[in-house]
Structure 1
């Protein structure tokens, strides 16, 4: 076996003899992008696109400074810092082959809890033109019941009381934009890369809600000097496992403490609204359009919702990975019927998109046996995902009197999942900010199934819709009385669907 080489800048020339590495001079790059949330998805997506672009050595203004925002992010920060921001991207092809390369676009890393002022100053730097975000669906502090910014969040209260030492993205952005205004600097673009429909609109609305309370005199300046483009992002990126780290050592002799694994498919559709300039990402595969909404609605309602369907049902079946779940004929049939009969009617006209082919490709992507996307990762923070991925389909179908039976079944399955143990006695790993409330309502649902729908922050007024409640209750009782496997077979039976 080849000698093991630790991944860092000093060893890059030697590593480049084994796998492709950055050929550009990283030391000459300016930081033009600050990215908050340097987890796997960002490193498989935006950082990948930017690395591709930087191989044009005339481009020197778009290095990325990665911000680890939360105390929880200590490990990724320490790892990337030790590796000079470098990491290996491992693309797991459908035939099982591995395409590996070192990504060099992250040239700086900062740990926000350690030095909040340094992070604020970096965001306010004149060189920084774009601040991008992957803070997860729950990071936007949006309350589904009130449809407003959640000022009751203790971290938001902290940021209002201690603006110089914020803990949330809203506190950091507000102070950085305040500095830009005070120093008569140019504004910047704030770009969400999270799975939220209208993610740019959501980012602006939530930030302005905070600013109007925290620094109201800043509002008018933001309206004039900051842009918030919408974007749709797509690349399945499972959590890195110890096996992935060992596989990289065995196949390439590279010691990377946190490589990123992903599927070959990638997509980035962006609204072209960048107030201070932008990288030419379109030259490396991104697509700039006037209106992102049709693309993101399709992706959120089909891919992201599909992931949640497979995750929740798969957990109840006792599976541990998404490919196992989609490999079950009854679960894959359930997903096809849900996508075809309940989601597709809500999507409208999608110019330039072959929807049938797209849905077929999703089944293939979910079934990639080499990705091994963990079900507990997909199910994590479902309380934030379901209002974004599944409820819009339910609400539209209720308005048009369309079918909601499979969607109601998913919500019933989520209620049973939230008890924390499946019918085989297997403890479920539930990672959710609302875990306690979910569990309490799930237990209450054993005697009154509709109790689960009383979680207003997730379901809003859905509990008041008699059509949905009837379908949900029927599905809940079917699962409890007959078991998940028979219940899925029953709801699938006699339904014809052309995906």
Structure 2
């Protein structure tokens, strides 16, 4: 009988008899990539591509140092320190099999909220070539309607007054780039890996808005010297559960405090535009292109919006996971109708992609019974997600007199979800959203003002002024409030 081994560098010699471990020498790696926001997705995606490249290459300059800027990242820092920055990747296949391996591309982890100078120095170091980001949609600090930088944010106001005391990503990047410029070092590339359309352009525009207020001369240097490649990232990565930790202990007798689970599918398309060199990621399947925008739009409007369609409607119906939604034929049919009739017509040409096959693959991925992606995760921060994934599709279809029925049903269900917070069975729905209070306050006015919810201009723009949309929306809203029978209303649209 094997002994349970704690995951750390010392124990890798024994662990390699159980599952795959890194074959490269981690001790000689330099932190060429600084990654801000080390969550499950980064560990299942960019860190895995980097691990694969390090397995193939002799390069020592592309290790990753993770950075957490929030106090909430303390737990991750503790686990990484305990495990020498190692973790287990668990790829869950539809046939029930799980393929596990130890990922070794992350070589260090630092916290910024309690020691900002250390993080600034790390970014400013000559070894750093790329600073990459997964800071979620909300981390970009912009108004979703105007697209302008939010200078009312108290943390931003603090940073403008006290540049040496950064709190947000913008304060840290500005301080580090200033040091690089003053030291006559080339700048690092800033590479967004978040689910935002034109994510590199967004990062550039928001950073420049901030820096122009803080240091106009530095802003000019950044504008001319720093690259912000757009990228499209894709891999479904549910929240790690206790069951995953237990599985590793029972199956492989490995103790990992924070493994990451994911689906087999993985995709990364990147604009080939870098300030100071880049890894040869093309050797491990990354696609470098001159224009990422059509691919970004395809993914956001089909996969991410599709998730939200299933998530909001499924939550009100009483489902718990995405694959549970996909076990219901009505949900499957409605998802496909949304993708075919509402999302696909407003996409740009996507070279090299067969859209029918791509949508078929999404259905297969969503239905993967081993992933069990929770609807609470999918619906979390919907106020940041829907203005990027779903609401633009409504605006664009209204402009071309296209179909809006399924997306409108989702908005009506979101209002009910935000107001009542219960499913059709009367069970409480877990709602995780920075705007939860505002959403609830607007939604509960629906009884006296059916348009109250969509009057939130920061989320919906001028939809409330579109008669075609409001007529359909109010009819759907009335029906949902009357009987909470989401499936009946979905059937009516088929």
Taking structure 1 as the reference length, what is the TM-score of the superposition? 0.97
1:179 maps onto 2:153 in alignment: no
Corresponding position of 2:204: 204
Output aligned runs, 1:204-223, within 5 Å. Answer: 204-223=204-223
**In 1, Cα distance between the equivalents of 2:73 and 2:309?**
28
Q: CA RMSD for the aligned pairs?
A: 1.1
Corresponding position of 1:316: 316
Corresponding position of 1:471: 472
**Shift, 1:139, TM fit:** 0.6
| Alignment deviations for residues 429-457 of structure 1 (CA, whole Å, 9 cap, x no partner) | 11111111001011112332210011122
**Shift, 1:224, TM fit:** 2.0
Corresponding position of 1:425: 426
- Work out whether residues 337 and 492 of structure 1, in 8 Å CA contact, stay in contact via their aligned partners in 2: no
1:92 maps onto 2:92 in alignment: yes
| Alignment deviations for residues 241-267 of structure 1 (CA, whole Å, 9 cap, x no partner) | 000100011111110000000000000
Corresponding position of 1:497: none
Corresponding position of 2:292: 292
**Shift, 1:488, TM fit:** 3.0
**Shift, 1:390, TM fit:** 0.6
Corresponding position of 2:65: 65
Which of 457-466 and 30-39 deviates more? 457-466
| Number of residue equivalences | 493
**Unpaired stretches in structure 1, ≥5 consecutive residues:** 494-499
* CA distance 1:491–1:152, shift in 2 (3 Å): farther
Runs (4 or more) in structure 1 with deviation over 6 Å come to none
Corresponding position of 1:496: none
Output aligned runs, 1:309-458, within 5 Å. Answer: 309-419=309-419, 420-458=421-459
- Work out whether residues 236 and 263 of structure 2, in 8 Å CA contact, stay in contact via their aligned partners in 1: yes
| Alignment deviations for residues 325-370 of structure 1 (CA, whole Å, 9 cap, x no partner) | 1211111211111111111110132221111111111111001110
**In 1, Cα distance between the equivalents of 2:205 and 2:106?**
29
Corresponding position of 2:152: 152
**In 2, Cα distance between the equivalents of 1:478 and 1:336?**
23
**In 1, Cα distance between the equivalents of 2:487 and 2:245?**
39
Which of 44-53 and 391-400 deviates more? 391-400
**In 2, Cα distance between the equivalents of 1:32 and 1:322?**
37
Corresponding position of 1:492: 493
**In 2, Cα distance between the equivalents of 1:131 and 1:486?**
45
Taking structure 2 as the reference length, what is the TM-score of the superposition? 0.98
| Alignment deviations for residues 111-135 of structure 1 (CA, whole Å, 9 cap, x no partner) | 1112111001111111100000000
**Shift, 1:57, TM fit:** 4.6
**In 1, Cα distance between the equivalents of 2:397 and 2:368?**
31
**In 2, Cα distance between the equivalents of 1:489 and 1:199?**
33
**Shift, 1:485, TM fit:** 3.3
Corresponding position of 2:283: 283
- Work out whether residues 88 and 260 of structure 1, in 8 Å CA contact, stay in contact via their aligned partners in 2: yes
Corresponding position of 1:163: 163
* CA distance 1:86–1:12, shift in 2 (3 Å): same
**Shift, 1:486, TM fit:** 4.3
Corresponding position of 2:274: 274
